[in-house]
Structure 1
Amino acid sequence: MTQHQFPRQLMTLAYMASVVLMISYAVWLYAMGEYRDLVVPSFMVLLLLAAFLLHLGQDIRAHLPRLVLLACTYASVIAALYYQPNTPLIWFGLPMTAAFLLLPLAGAVVLHMTLLPLWWFMPALSQASPTLMMGYVALGLLLALPRWEHARRRALLRATDPNDSECDAYHIDTLKERLHSEYQRADMLNQRLAVLVIHLPQRDMAEEQFGPRAAEALLSALCTEVYSCCRDHDLLGRADSATFWLVLPDTSESGALLVRDRLQRALSRRVLVETGQVEVRIAACLPCPKEDFEHYLQRLEGRGSALAKR
């Protein structure tokens, strides 16, 4: 599930606050003698505690506890509106706000539009005026607008920024453009060109077990060692999540193999706290005489896939 990322500490506070609020709500219902309405909040407390524990787990995807939190928000508001028709309708917008905060924009809009006709089966909303429906739609638009503008700005930044968003390397589109330029220059000037395909097998494991910061530290360590071992005009770009291409202009196959050995020795001495010694798989890939550039790109991608399967 693709979604915007909140800091882990902020989400921890959100889960803790939701548990405290639900417990307070259940205690208030108990003090008021509303024992019939106490069942749903009590069950929601258990679910929220489970979501909090899932959030603390290192090997659990972030979207699972968020879905539990969102479901608890909807269930609590629906139960309050069903059993207590006099509940202020201001709580009507709480689950919608939570959906736009916890779900991707498209998923929140679809959920918002799907539940629009279903809300009016609630006793508290059966006699609601048409202005309430207009307010519901307006609130949805107001909540969607900042997310849409943020996505638009990110797309604009991605289109204009040549660097990858997670490490100090070229983005795949910029990498292919620069590689194409070096390919044409080598062909016109009858010079040599080599590309090292570098795969990080620990990258996906680091993110799953230790979170995105460990994965970014691994990527940063790779980029730092590459730049320390290579020339200023060599190009490093990220081909996919765990694969990089190091473009070596005016480099023969033997020179590329020397660079590969130097990189492997340097990276083997790099030790990180979470993942230990950095492991890499590196292969050299040189263009064949009179080879089409698109075919060369396919060979590079195939070499990266082969390294990932080793």
Structure 2
Amino acid sequence: MTEHHISKRLMTLAYSGSILLMAGYSFWLYAMGDYSDLLIPAFMTLLLMSALLMHIGPGLKSCLPRIVLLCCTYLVVLSTFHYQEQVSPIWLGLPITAAFLLLPLWAALLINITAGPLWWLFSSVASAPPAFIVGYVAFTLLLALPRWEHARRRALLRATDPNDSDCNAYHIDTLKERLQSEFQRAAMLNQQLALLVLHLPQLDMAGEQFGHRAQTALLGALCSEVNSRCRDHDVLGRADNATFWLVLPDTSESGALLVRERLQRALSRCVLVETGQLEARIAACLPNRTECFDHYVKRLEARGATLANV
């Protein structure tokens, strides 16, 4: 419920705009001869440039440059309130808004609630009328309300929609329900049941280097290829972030291996712009005759972890 995706291009524009604003403010202070206040904006400019480089460069979490940008926003506002006495308290809205834009909902709420009493240590804020406290709380709650409503709707949609939110596959709860029903049906009718565990090793790399859109394209390509080459009653579900289970009812081990080879050939021919040739690790896992369902699920999870660590 706290995931918050912003496109990489939009964040690049945000970092670039912040650098231009801070650099312009630094040059303005230099031109006005206000050298005592020049140190912090100049240092913030360097920090923002490093945040932009971290955002563009591969192999780093997207939250790290966002935290740097948020810290720069707080430091600039803090320095303004510290060095200048006649500052309007309305500038408190800048770090509050930045926290809700850059952080998950509960993290932004926690930071704003914690930082709230600290702002009143400054004389310009302490001299504000008591109604300003109500305004501060109301503004914080108003900024939290859209994010909370969006998270609530996503949770409701996830509870009622059997499909995964990012691809054309069942999410884990529905997948386990369908697998359990097929497991019980195979045991009752003395039929065979097979399952293929698929792992996408490129998924995390695609998210770190190219963003959420590349991850969605990778997931969509996998689901499209698998669904187009399977039977209507086969069940494809997302068991983990990069792991999928393909349930094959009434399928023997040899049949599962044939499906595995067919999928391997089809997926190897799929080429994406960002990640290149699609790579998938596939393993077959069949239930034993005397095995219970919970033990079989644990064995499937262990097989997925093994494929991820290959």
TM-score, normalization: structure 1? 0.93
Q: What amino acid is the match of 1:184?
A: Q
Relative distance call for 1:113 and 1:152 in structure 2 (3 A) is same
* 1:239 to 1:67, Cα distance in 2 relative to 1, 3 A: same
Of 24-33 and 131-140, the range deviating more from structure 2: 24-33
Question: What residue is the counterpart of 2:144 in the other structure?
Answer: 144
**Partner of residue 288, structure 2:** 288
Q: Counterparts in 2 of 1:168-207, with a 5 A limit?
A: 168-207=168-207
Displacement of 1:280: 2.1
CA contact (8 A) 1:82 1:124 kept: no
- Does the residue aligned with 2:117 lie in a helix, a strand or coil? coil
Superposed counterparts of 1:99-178, under 5 Å: 99-178=99-178
Whole-angstrom CA distance in 2 between matches of 1:80 and 1:277: 52
Separation in structure 1 between the aligned mates of residue 281 and residue 46 of structure 2, nearest angstrom: 46
Which deviates the most, 141-150 or 213-222?
A: 213-222
Cα distance in 1 between the residues matched to 2:13 and 2:262:
46
Would you say the 8 A contact 2:62–2:208 is kept in 1? Answer: no
* Partner AA of 1:224 in structure 2: S
Contact map agreement 2:194 2:284 (CA 8 A) in 1: yes
Structure 1 equivalent of residue 232 of structure 2? 232
**C-alpha separation between the residues in 1 aligned to 2:23 and 2:202?**
41
Q: Corresponding residue for 1:39?
A: 39
Q: Secondary structure at the match of 2:180?
A: helix
CA–CA distance in 2 between the matches of 1:210 and 1:30? 38
Q: Distance in 2 between matches of 1:162 and 1:23?
A: 50
Query: Counterpart of 2:94 in structure 1: which amino acid?
Result: L
CA contact (8 A) 1:58 1:211 kept: no
Tell me which amino acid in the other structure corresponds to 2:176.
K
Distance in 1 (CA, whole Å) between partners of 2:40 and 2:210 is 35
Question: How far, CA to CA, are the matches of 2:218 and 2:255 in structure 1?
Answer: 26
| Counterpart position of 1:11 | 11
The answer on whether the counterparts of 2:196 and 2:247 sit within 8 Å (CA) in structure 1 is yes
3-state SS, counterpart of residue 244 of structure 2: strand
2: distance between equivalents of 1:229 and 1:78?
59
In structure 1, the partner of 2:24 is 24
Q: Structure 1 residue 159: deviation in Å? A: 0.7
> Contact between 1:164 and 1:171, CA under 8 Å: does it hold in 2?
yes
Distance 1:199 1:245 in 2: 9
**Residue in structure 2 matched with residue 89 of structure 1 by the alignment:** 89
Is structure 2 residue 296 aligned with structure 1 residue 279? no
Q: Partners of 1:108 and 1:256 in 2: how far apart?
A: 48
On the 8 A contact 1:198/1:282 being kept in 2, the answer is: yes
What amino acid sits opposite 1:48 in the alignment? L
Deviates further, 50-59 or 167-176 = 50-59
How far apart in 2 are the matches of 1:89 and 1:16? Answer: 26
Shift of 1:41: 1.6
Q: Which runs of 5+ in 2 are unaligned?
A: none
Residue 77 of structure 1 is matched in structure 2 by 77
Identify the range of structure 1 (227-236 vs 47-56) with the bigger mean alpha-carbon deviation.
47-56
Residues in 2 aligned to 1:93 and 1:232: alpha-carbon distance in whole angstroms: 54
Q: CA deviation at 1:31?
A: 4.3
Q: What are the ranges of 5 or more consecutive residues in structure 1 without an aligned counterpart?
A: none
